[in-house]
Amino acid sequence: MAELFMLANRFRLLNPVRELRAATVYAAQDVVTGQRFTAYLFRASLCSDSTVYDKLLQNLRAISGVSHPNLATIYAPGYEGGYCYIIYEEVEGQPLSEIIRREGPLPLDTALNIAVQICDGIDALHKAGITNGGVSPDDVMVTGEGLVKLLGAGVPSAIYSMGPSYRIWLDPLYLAPEQLRGGHINPATDVYAIGLIIYEMLCGTYPFQKNDTLRLEPLPMRAFNREISPELEQVVKTALQPEPSLRYRNARQLSQLLKNKVAIAQRIQPSLLERREPLPAPEEEEHIDWLALVLGAIALLAVAGMVILWTIVYNKYAGLL
């Protein structure tokens, strides 16, 4: 790669930061302003002919029009020297994959905070009519302040759309079952990928045997983390349903579940709630329940009527004896 060190005659590639399946991530610098950026340089085989890289760049330019705090800003998708590239804003942080590898299961509040931000970033794509096509912990950057930035947004769907021969550049571990079958993708496909990440954050491990391409039933979450409630486990299992129609419809629906602070506190941290002083029961205002009074009066009248009727019938019967 030494022969290619300048992109768009402006962005100088500095040092490689990490290797991904489809791209090498570089630190880059604007030679005019000195500002630093992050550059994705895709594998040469992804840009092997003009038809392919035109299609790839068309998809990437569509993504560059989507702006959200949880999506790394795209400045310049392009093609140079046989390579497609994207210039992103510089994101100072750590990949979520490294955090999980180093720390194992994350604290519940940390994992859910990250999950909500991932959902919100993906939801911005869904609102723009774009399916991300999967997301892996390698693409989730977490800053020191806990802000999540997604790099490579839209790239999986762009590569997926290029056809079966190019899908080898997608990480199969973070593809939904319908993608493994070569089927149609939609926002529920992204819900599956987010479910995988939530599982890994909470359990510190991948939810399936890595050679399990059917992915019918994830390993029980509470076997790895006893703090996970059955209700939260069910949320993740729903996101990981092999049939797309049985999952949450989109990232927004999953996000709304995770943002329900009261439900989260009650379902995933019961031990914390038990240690708190119980709240006093709210005082009920005294009021007359008119409906109950009316119904009671009707019931009394009905009973009285039955008594009178029975008395009349009895007396007549007795007179016949």
Q: How confident is the model at residue 315 (pLDDT cuts 50, 70, 90)?
A: low
Span 243-255, pLDDT tens digits: 999 999 999 999 9
pLDDT value at position 301? Answer: 55
> Is residue 300 assigned to a domain?
no
> Is residue 13 assigned to a domain?
yes
121 shares its domain with 249? yes
- Measured CA to CA, the distance from residue 156 to residue 40 in angstroms comes to 13
The closest alpha carbon to 6, from 23, 25, 43, 31, belongs to 31
CATH number, domain with residue 24: 3.30.200.20
**What would the mean pLDDT of 191-195 be, rounded to a whole number?**
97
DSSP lists the bridge partners of residue 39 as 26, 87
How many domains is the chain partitioned into structurally? Answer: 2
Q: What are phi and psi of 18, to 5 degrees?
A: -165, 160
Span 235-245, pLDDT tens digits: 999 999 999 99
Q: How confident is the model at residue 192 (pLDDT cuts 50, 70, 90)?
A: very high
Domain extent for 228: 94-270
Longest CA pairwise span in the chain (Å): 123
121 shares its domain with 261? yes
> Is residue 112 assigned to a domain?
yes
CATH number, domain with residue 132: 1.10.510.10
pTM, whole model, 2 decimals? 0.78
What share of the chain has pLDDT > 70, as a percent? 80
The closest alpha carbon to 83, from 194, 174, 4, belongs to 4
For the cut 90, the answer to whether the pLDDT of residue 215 exceeds it is no
SS3 call for 74: strand
- Measured CA to CA, the distance from residue 169 to residue 190 in angstroms comes to 18
- Measured CA to CA, the distance from residue 124 to residue 130 in angstroms comes to 9
Q: How confident is the model at residue 281 (pLDDT cuts 50, 70, 90)?
A: very low
> Is residue 181 assigned to a domain?
yes
245 shares its domain with 177? yes
104 shares its domain with 30? no
Q: What is the DSSP letter of 104?
A: -
> Is residue 189 assigned to a domain?
yes
Task: State the DSSP H helix or E strand holding residue 140, giving kind and residue range, or none if neither.
Answer: strand 140-142
> Is residue 310 assigned to a domain?
no
pLDDT value at position 211? Answer: 75
SS3 call for 92: coil
- Measured CA to CA, the distance from residue 68 to residue 287 in angstroms comes to 50
Residue 54 C-beta-side C-alpha neighbours within 13 Å: 3
